[in-house]
């Protein structure tokens, strides 16, 4: 399975992945998933949000389902494991349980959630948010990709039938268990192949609009400039400093400059900041401090800055009873990355996460990795958990 999936959406130059939601490579991944589900005799169900679920419903299975899975989309030039590992492992766990002769007493679903990364429409975990009803159809319809394409138009172009409302099938889910590659080195330091998540740090995305005055790069004396690039540059450095001092995270990873000419002082810089902190109060304090420093610098540069909140996700604490049932002595650690499991937990569905060790600690980049032996240990752990939850 891994070999077949690995070729889809991979860049020949960087080795990274470009599996943007509702575009060709991501749709090929969904077609691959449908083929895998059909080969196992699993019933496939789609909703109006781009999500897909493959149901294992043996005769005699009753009650609410246990859901597992992850996502198949990627960040731009992302790694192979973030998302797909959870989907492949879920299918492999079904195979393993069948090999063991185990028949679940409850239905088991393998989910593929859409637009988890937010790489196209800017709102992470969009598919699970819409499925759970924590993001409204009206909010979703406002979203545009960098080319100005709305989400409904993108879905229709991909052959889907959007409705952007809560997903009926999610009402039949008792709990959700997501396996994911670890996006750090905690398990490496502990010398453990598999761990569980205790919580997800609060995190948000913020848009900074810096405006100034366009001018000639050669004839405009330095004291006469109103250069928004300088304001942005200081803000990016200030964000890094404040995050380091407080033990939190702040990253400017995307900018757009106008007029974007080598020989011109820019008139505007739009920059997006990702911030993550150990508590909700710490997140609010960090962003407020960075905005204050940006505003003060703008006053010195003769520029202006406006900050808009694009999304904020509060801290998520995973179901302690569920996590405790599945831990079996494995480490339970917090994560700074957002996941569909966090969205479902926030919506009131008991959720837990399994992590598989990442020897590089690198994620959202081509060097993201997990050793095959650790991945197989993850499949064993997931199969054991499904056994525990569906007896």
- pLDDT, tens digit, 9 for 90 and up, residues 78-137: 999 999 999 999 999 999 999 999 999 999 999 999 999 999 998 999 999 999 999 999
Residue 79: per-residue pLDDT: 97
Q: Where are the domains of the chain?
A: 2-201+315-390, 203-313
Mean pLDDT value of segment 309-336: 95
Residue 12: per-residue pLDDT: 96
Residue 75: per-residue pLDDT: 95
Query: What are the angstrom distances between the C-alpha of 126 and each of 297, 376, 388?
Result: 35, 29, 30
Is 165:48 a contact under the CB 8 Å cutoff?
A: yes
The size of the chain, in residues, is: 391
Nearest to 106 by CA among 53, 169, 46, 173: 173
Where does the pLDDT of residue 380 fall: very low under 50, low under 70, confident under 90, or very high at 90 and above?
very high
Residue 297: per-residue pLDDT: 98
Residue 373: per-residue pLDDT: 98
Looking at the DSSP assignment, which residues form a beta bridge with residue 78? 17
Tell the CATH topology of 2-201+315-390. Aminopeptidase (3.40.630)
Q: What average pLDDT does the structure give for the chain?
A: 97
Residue 178: per-residue pLDDT: 98
Where does the pLDDT of residue 1 fall: very low under 50, low under 70, confident under 90, or very high at 90 and above?
very high
- pLDDT, tens digit, 9 for 90 and up, residues 247-275: 999 999 999 999 999 999 999 999 999 99
Its pTM stands at 0.87
Residue 309: per-residue pLDDT: 96
Nearest to 203 by CA among 277, 254, 135, 271: 277
- pLDDT, tens digit, 9 for 90 and up, residues 222-233: 999 999 999 999
| CB half-sphere exposure, 333, CA atoms < 13 A | 21
Residue 114: per-residue pLDDT: 98
As its CATH architecture, domain 203-313 has: 2-Layer Sandwich (3.30)
């Amino acid at each position: 399975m891994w070999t077949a999936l690995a070729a889809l959406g991979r860049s020949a130059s960087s080795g990274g992945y470009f599996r943007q939601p509702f575009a060709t490579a991501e749709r090929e991944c969904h077609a691959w998933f449908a083929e895998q589900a059909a080969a196992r005799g699993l019933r496939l169900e789609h909703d109006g949000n781009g999500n897909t679920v493959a149901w294992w419903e043996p005769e005699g299975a009753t009650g609410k389902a246990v859901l597992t899975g992850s996502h198949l989309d990627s960040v731009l030039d992302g790694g192979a494991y973030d998302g797909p590992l959870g989907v492949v492992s879920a299918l492999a766990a079904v195979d393993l349980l069948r090999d063991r002769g185990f028949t679940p007493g409850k239905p088991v679903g393998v989910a593929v959630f859409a637009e988890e990364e937010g790489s196209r429409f800017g709102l992470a975990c969009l598919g699970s948010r819409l499925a759970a009803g924590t993001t409204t159809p009206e909010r979703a319809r406002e979203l545009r990709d960098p080319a100005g394409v709305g989400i409904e138009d993108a879905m229709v172009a991909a052959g889907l039938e959007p409705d952007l409302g809560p997903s009926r099938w999610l009402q039949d889910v008792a709990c959700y268990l997501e396996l994911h590659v670890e996006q750090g080195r905690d398990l490496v330091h502990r010398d453990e192949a598999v761990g569980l998540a205790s919580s997800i740090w609060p995190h948000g995305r913020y848009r900074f609009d810096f405006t100034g005055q366009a001018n000639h790069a050669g004839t405009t004396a330095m004291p006469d400039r109103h250069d928004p690039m300088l304001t942005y540059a200081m803000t990016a450095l200030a964000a890094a400093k404040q995050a380091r001092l407080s033990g939190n995270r702040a990253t400017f990873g995307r900018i757009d400059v106008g007029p974007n000419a080598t020989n011109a002082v820019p008139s505007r810089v739009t920059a997006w900041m990702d911030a993550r902190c150990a508590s909700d109060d710490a997140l609010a304090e960090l962003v407020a401090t960075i905005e204050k420093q940006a505003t003060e610098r703008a006053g010195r540069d003769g520029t202006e800055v406006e900050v808009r909140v694009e999304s904020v996700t509060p801290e998520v604490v995973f179901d302690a009873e569920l996590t405790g049932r599945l831990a079996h002595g494995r480490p339970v650690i917090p994560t700074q990355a957002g996941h569909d499991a966090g969205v479902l937990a926030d919506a009131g569905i008991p959720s837990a996460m399994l992590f598989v060790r990442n020897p590089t600690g690198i994620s959202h980049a081509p060097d993201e990795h997990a050793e095959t032996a650790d991945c197989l240990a993850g499949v064993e752990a997931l199969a054991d958990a499904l056994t525990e939850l569906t007896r």
